[in-house]
Amino acid sequence: MSASAAVLKAELRLFGREPFALFWIVAFPSILLAVLGLIPSFRDPDPGLGGARVIDLYVPVNVLLAMIMAGVQALPPVLSGYRERGILRRMSTTPMRPAALLAAQIVLHFAAALGSALLVVAVGRLAFDVALPGQLPGYLLALLLGALGALAMGAAVAAVTPTVKATTVVGSVVLFPMMFVAGVWGPVQTMPDLLRRIVECLPFGAASQALYRAAEGGSPDWAHLGVTAAWTAVLIAAAVRWFRWE
């Protein structure tokens, strides 16, 4: 077994031993979708939404929520904990780079978020008859960018905070606005015009629009994809620039 595979295997086992993180990433977005779907009016076509139902809007929102839970909520304390507890330092005295540990955790959170997204789409389809994404390549592209943005945001939070405590505080301070921007408290499409324009310039607002457009079967707006990609690039740069190994 190669060294990187051994690291990934060990981190996968550890990831499986974190029931709370797994709940928030994998189960919570689908549960939230199911709860929203139980509200009768959310299952009625709304002329104000061009005949779509609120629940149709909420599937992409909860897909994005899975990314945010993995990247912004679960990931940062893991990364800064590895630093604070000297695990990265210990690893740096072996032939393996400590970055491999962080990479393994990022990959695993990414995989869990994708699994959760799949579950959300499946619950939407099976329980509430929400159509599967109409334009799959665009949907996947938007999803990928959204996921990268969320993971990069989490890494940046871990990078700029010195301790696990600080990471957790900053992580939750960032979490709620990001959930709002993604449309968890009301899909971006239903927001007042001015608010929507602002939100569309923010990382998950733009991703939310792109996902919904692709779900409906259209091509996602390049502006929305571009905004998401730009935020992702900035956040990755910030994480790399400010991350301290000890």
Partner 1 sequence: MRAGAPEAMLEAMPIIEVSGLRKAYGGRPAVDGVTFTVEEGEIFGILGQNGAGKTTTVECVEGLRAPDAGAVRVAGLDPRTDRDRLTRTLGVQLQESELQEKLTVREALELYAALYPAPADWRGLAERLGLTGKLTTRFGRLSGGQKQRLFIALALIGRPRVVVLDELTTGLDPRARRDTWSLIEEVRDGGVTVLLVTHFMEEAQRLCDRIAVFKRGRVAALDTPAGLIRRGSGGTVISFAPSRPLDRDDLAGLPEAATVERRDGHVTIHGTDTTANAVVSLLARRRITAHRLRITDSTLDDAFLELTEDREN
User: Which residues of the chain form contacts with partner 1 (CB under 8 A)?
Assistant: 1-3, 5-7, 10, 13-14, 17-18, 82, 85-87, 89-90, 92-96
Place of tokens 């507890």: 85
List CB contacts of 200: < 8 A, sequence separation 6 or more. Answer: 188, 206, 209, 223, 224, 227
- Phi and psi, residue 45, nearest 5°: -60, 140
Toward partner 1, which CB reaches closer, 85 or 125? 85
Toward partner 1, which CB reaches closer, 164 or 202? 164
Q: Nearest distance from residue 3's CB to partner 1, in Å?
A: 5
Toward partner 1, which CB reaches closer, 104 or 152? 104
Q: Nearest distance from residue 22's CB to partner 1, in Å?
A: 13
Q: Nearest distance from residue 76's CB to partner 1, in Å?
A: 16
Q: Nearest distance from residue 10's CB to partner 1, in Å?
A: 5
Instruction: Please report, to the nearest 10 degrees, the dihedral formed by the alpha carbons of residues 9, 11, 13, 15 taken in order.
Output: -140
Toward partner 1, which CB reaches closer, 20 or 40? 20
Toward partner 1, which CB reaches closer, 106 or 119? 106
Cβ neighbours around 36 below 10 Å, total: 19
Closest to 67 measured CA to CA, from 11, 18, 9, 106: 106
Q: Nearest distance from residue 130's CB to partner 1, in Å?
A: 37
Q: Is 215 exposed, middle or buried (0-12, 13-18, 19+ CB in 10 A)?
A: buried
